Structure 1
């Protein structure tokens, strides 16, 4: 009796419940491979066009989480993002971009990717399946006063679940950002932001609509948090780090846009202020000397509780103009 030799490589098949809209087949793309390039692009972008509305529908929940993050950071705490795969990479991307834009560092917002930093470029097999690793991240990096936000498109990633459970046990506020309206991990979240984006164009490929929805959510969450913390004047990035020629030019342009001053005057005041956009802006708006502007800002530092002027710029200008 002849037998067929078995390959030495075997695959352990484990049945996992993948019930989630992202795992369902999308009727609009059922014949995707039969289309020409233009047809494929039209289907993909047509589905993408629905994502913003799905995120907008959760605006109230996102705003509530913004206030939670503002409270934590204002008190010296840290907001922690945790995720695996695409969700984790989007978390890392959002966190690192806050530094040049808002002068925020890891003491304010930190991201933790399943499998460690190396997993950003190369998948680490099995990392997302370990709740113990998620719990270990919380134990090592989180402390009282911090906020733990898990990102999981499926709403069931074990790494994220372990982190949220550990955070709950430690008494930390928790949140979940998921593309599954019935996310199992929602029970572990004080703030559940469940985005109903529907089936993916390519079934189960959550780098697509689910990823876009998570990115939009993080954009709104982190930007609103930073603005509430007083890092902008209107919509101008007054805490931007001028680390290259483009950003130096941008700071001068911002001063011109905010004050109406001539570019040369703005540049001179910025130089006199030692590169401090805040000080230069107050001096230009109030028509005051740089030293007086700096002293006024010391009286009105950034304060999220000062609604309408968290940056303190308007208050400092008013104090200089009225002599108070």
Structure 2
């Protein structure tokens, strides 16, 4: 019986453990690189996923990540960064990992078969949510059960798997198949498949941030500046966008209560009230708000 690609043993002439240090490390790097390349064939589906995520978070929906094992860890890593990077309210980003998020590094394998826990996740979904389910194999019971039941709750499903024609992908509104190569260590999907899944999540969430207007000229203009480094970054963003000095940027941030987008407009000459009105009028997108401010100033 043929194995799924994620379980295949590499057909390389020399097995990983028979290589010297340089050869073994090079082999693993090659597999990781090939796994990343698999994303190039999925850009259309990645964009469709980002569109769903942006629509949910721009409205009243939530982004719910659901996965088990190493796929769950990739989901957690992506989800944990979104509130700080894009200023998305914490309660709008949920992580539902089989067995719960491991607090001490313990991650029992049997939790991925717990479909009763999957039912509890389904009971918590609501219309307008987007559920992002992951499984390298595409057959893991926990995320597959969630994918199959989410539509009945009015949620949309984005699925990421590394084997085609699998139940997880079949249950999705947007199915993203990442055709990663056999692992350097057969079946260890924390490696190539995990790398590809994390990269896919990076692309989806960052593209969604762009669509929501939280990226301007490659900068995070909706970041939460809750430490010294990020406060400095926020001031630098305001200075660069508005073309002002550091003191003016810092003053604008104070007047905007730390919010970068309105601070950029304030530094460019708007009152706090005008800055907020312009952003509201342009769906939170800074570029058209700046354009409208300039038009007002030139009138």
- Select which of 40, 47, 50 maps to 2:24: 40
Aligned mates of 2:240, 2:270 — CA distance in 1: 20
Query: Which has the larger Rg?
Result: 1
User: Quick check: 1:271 aligned with 2:244?
Assistant: no
- Displacement of 1:118 after TM fit? 3.0
- Displacement of 1:299 after TM fit? 3.7
Mean CA deviation greater in 116-125 or 176-185: 116-125
**Distance change in 2, residues 1:246/1:91 (3 Å):** same
User: Quick check: 1:316 aligned with 2:295?
Assistant: no
**Distance change in 2, residues 1:219/1:29 (3 Å):** farther
- Displacement of 1:184 after TM fit? 2.8
Aligned mates of 1:29, 1:174 — CA distance in 2: 40
User: Quick check: 1:101 aligned with 2:85?
Assistant: yes
User: Quick check: 1:178 aligned with 2:157?
Assistant: no
- Displacement of 1:260 after TM fit? 2.7
Normalised to the residue count of structure 2, the TM-score between the two structures is 0.92
Taking the TM superposition and a 5 Å limit, the aligned residue runs for 1:1-324 are: 19-28=3-12, 30-118=14-102, 121-139=105-123, 141-285=124-268, 288-291=269-272, 294-301=273-280, 311-323=284-296
- Displacement of 1:168 after TM fit? 2.9
Q: Is the 8 A contact 2:270 2:293 kept in 1?
A: no
Aligned mates of 2:78, 2:281 — CA distance in 1: 22
Q: Deviations over 1:168-221 (max 9, x none)?
A: 333422121001123232221111101001200000000000000000100011
Q: Which has the higher contact order (CA 8 A, sep 6+)?
A: 2
Aligned mates of 1:176, 1:269 — CA distance in 2: 42
Superposition RMSD on alpha carbons, in Å?
2.1
1:10 maps to what in 2?
Answer: none
Q: Which runs of 4+ in 1 moved over 4 A?
A: none
Aligned mates of 2:166, 2:180 — CA distance in 1: 13
Normalised to the residue count of structure 1, the TM-score between the two structures is 0.85
- Displacement of 1:239 after TM fit? 1.4
- Displacement of 1:320 after TM fit? 2.7
**Distance change in 2, residues 1:120/1:69 (3 Å):** farther
Aligned mates of 2:270, 2:4 — CA distance in 1: 60
Aligned mates of 1:182, 1:29 — CA distance in 2: 29
- Displacement of 1:119 after TM fit? 6.6
Aligned mates of 2:92, 2:260 — CA distance in 1: 21
Aligned mates of 2:176, 2:243 — CA distance in 1: 41
Task: Name structure 1 gaps, 5 residues minimum.
Answer: 1-16, 304-309
Count of residues paired in the alignment: 297
Higher helix share goes to which structure?
A: 2
